[in-house]
Structure 1
Amino acid sequence: MSNTVYLVTGANRGIGLGLVITLAARPNTIVFAGARDPNAQSLKDLAAKHSNVHPIKFVANDPSNNAAAIAEIKKSAGQLDVIIANAGIAKSYGPLAKTPLEEYKEHWEVNTLGTVVLYQAAHELLLASPTGAPIFTYISTGAGSLARYMPMQNSPYGSSKAAANFLVKALDAENPSLIALAISPGWVATDMGNMGAVANGLPEAPVTIEDSVGGILSRIDGATKEKSSGRFWNFKATFGGNPWDIETEEVPW
């Protein structure tokens, strides 16, 4: 059986690291773990344990870096089958009227333009995947839904994710073979997620990394153009009755 080659960005901690850990344990899998610091101890330890894990330098919204990362993947593995675009930031909470413009710029540059830069660098190799059905997954957020607005006072983050969701629809429409999907990972107990939880009066975010990763991969595994692409998936339907719970398998755009 041939290998499936993954690129996971934002892979040195949180959801990204959880995805790499899970994928690394699968047979016939090669995982490129993209991180601003590929020498992070978490990735060094994982690569020492799993020979199929390859940390690479990845900087969101850096065209020359992204091109170099994809070139390294092509040279090393010869193919790229699945991209999980997980790198992102969420670090500003407060009312729109008092949020500095620089916060909007930084969130849009990383979360939105970073997605464009990554796809532009990777599309030729990704679309040449021998599977014939390459996958581009954007790790979005329920806070990016317009139809199901969450009053969390994080407009730089939510707006940047909503804009990137549009890009997923564009990728689906423009590429007959590409499976492009957005996935809300839930409100996850990562450094980033817990910061948001504290800002909203909670001690920590309610979803574990393990639960989120399992849900994300359940959407990617077996995804098809017909049933999966161009859609905004929930990591799983949640029924806790809280404002942040989304009770449906899909998140409304």
Structure 2
Amino acid sequence: MSSPLTILITGANRGIGFGLVTLYLARPSTTVIATVRDPTSPSSKALQSLPRSPASRLIVINLDLASTESVNVGIQSLTVKLNIHALDVVIANAGIAGTTPPLLSCTTADLQMYIDVNAFGSLELYKGVLPLLLKSKAQPKFIYMSSAGGSLTSMNTMVPLAAYGASKALGNFLFKWLALEQEGEEKVVVWCQHPGMVATDMGKAGFELLAKQGIDLSAHIISVEQSTNGIKNVIKNASLESTNGKFLGPDGGELPW
């Protein structure tokens, strides 16, 4: 029998986020809080049609990582309007991706947009949900959805993702730091999670770009289902001793920073 679980997933109306919501709604006794930038969009409304296991429920709230005010209002609505006073798991999945020109051609504004959402937005989310995570009756967990594109060791300039990669590298640093600087007896398991090379809409665009340059990654591409099942398993087995402050792939293996 599944124990009750309350999980918040940002960027829930597409790709990996949608897949994670689908998986967790299929788990009995689970409250899934799905955050989206526009609850009225067709992709957000599609969340309501997902099947649910007994005693599981879906709550959709507005939250935009590009706005600190939106993050704060969204988190406050959990306690003030929805009577949710504790969270067991938070997956900071929302983010933006895209190609950028060579760094010498980029403006600071070109880079800042990615950093504000992919790094600082998730940091503000962590600050907002931390009090709720610390009220969990289980071991609370916070997952920063990172990317191998943010790995300095694996850096490859063949793909023009400098702004995206820089934002994820910064996010990796921030969340490893947050994982390690925790004090006191009550701690949250915090780690950076690479979802794999996933066949989402954003992922496919990147793979097509590489293919035009003669780089075929088809043997390494995984489906949304494969990615989210792997991530769910990593979350289930995560602990302070084995997972805190790590950078992990969907199979649970450690990745180079």
TM-score normalised per structure 2: 0.87
Q: CA contact under 8 A between 1:186 and 1:207: conserved in structure 2?
A: yes
- Please tell me whether residue 251 in structure 1 is matched to residue 255 in structure 2: yes
Distance of 1:222 and 1:236 partners within structure 2: 11
Q: CA contact under 8 A between 1:189 and 1:209: conserved in structure 2?
A: yes
Equivalent residue for 2:196, pick from 186, 190, 205: 186
The match for 1:106 is 113
One-letter amino acid of the structure 1 residue matched with residue 141 of structure 2: I
The number of aligned residues is: 241
The match for 2:38 is 37
Distance of 1:215 and 1:40 partners within structure 2: 28
- Please tell me whether residue 64 in structure 1 is matched to residue 69 in structure 2: yes
Q: CA contact under 8 A between 1:89 and 1:192: conserved in structure 2?
A: no
- Other structure's SS at 1:6 match: strand
One-letter amino acid of the structure 1 residue matched with residue 41 of structure 2: A
- Please tell me whether residue 91 in structure 1 is matched to residue 98 in structure 2: yes
- Other structure's SS at 2:237 match: coil
Distance of 2:209 and 2:63 partners within structure 1: 29
The match for 2:146 is 140
The match for 1:231 is 246
The match for 1:201 is 211
- Other structure's SS at 1:106 match: helix
The match for 1:244 is none
Distance of 2:124 and 2:172 partners within structure 1: 15
The match for 1:243 is none
Distance of 1:111 and 1:45 partners within structure 2: 25
Distance of 2:116 and 2:126 partners within structure 1: 14
One-letter amino acid of the structure 1 residue matched with residue 236 of structure 2: D
Deviation at 1:2, TM superposition (A): 5.1
Alignment of 1:42-57 (within 5 A): 42-48=43-49, 49-50=51-52, 52-57=57-62
Q: Which moved more, 1:192-201 or 1:19-28?
A: 192-201
Q: CA contact under 8 A between 2:192 and 2:248: conserved in structure 1?
A: yes
Q: Judging changes above 3 Å, is the alpha-carbon distance between structure 1 residues 204 and 38 closer, same or farther for their aligned structure 2 residues?
A: farther
- Other structure's SS at 2:83 match: helix
Equivalent residue for 1:170, pick from 173, 177, 184: 177
One-letter amino acid of the structure 1 residue matched with residue 254 of structure 2: E
Q: CA contact under 8 A between 1:127 and 1:134: conserved in structure 2?
A: yes
- Please tell me whether residue 215 in structure 1 is matched to residue 236 in structure 2: no
Distance of 2:75 and 2:241 partners within structure 1: 27
The match for 1:245 is none
Deviation at 1:117, TM superposition (A): 1.1
Q: Which moved more, 1:192-201 or 1:112-121?
A: 192-201
- Other structure's SS at 1:153 match: coil
Distance of 2:110 and 2:26 partners within structure 1: 38
One-letter amino acid of the structure 1 residue matched with residue 232 of structure 2: L
Q: Which runs of 4+ in 1 moved over 6 A?
A: none
Deviation at 1:204, TM superposition (A): 8.8
- Other structure's SS at 1:226 match: coil
Distance of 2:111 and 2:217 partners within structure 1: 25
Could you list the runs of 5+ residues in structure 2 that have no partner in the other structure? Answer: none
Equivalent residue for 1:150, pick from 147, 156, 165: 156
Backbone CA RMSD of aligned residues: 2.0
One-letter amino acid of the structure 1 residue matched with residue 67 of structure 2: D
Distance of 2:217 and 2:180 partners within structure 1: 38
- Please tell me whether residue 7 in structure 1 is matched to residue 13 in structure 2: no
Sequence identity percentage: 37
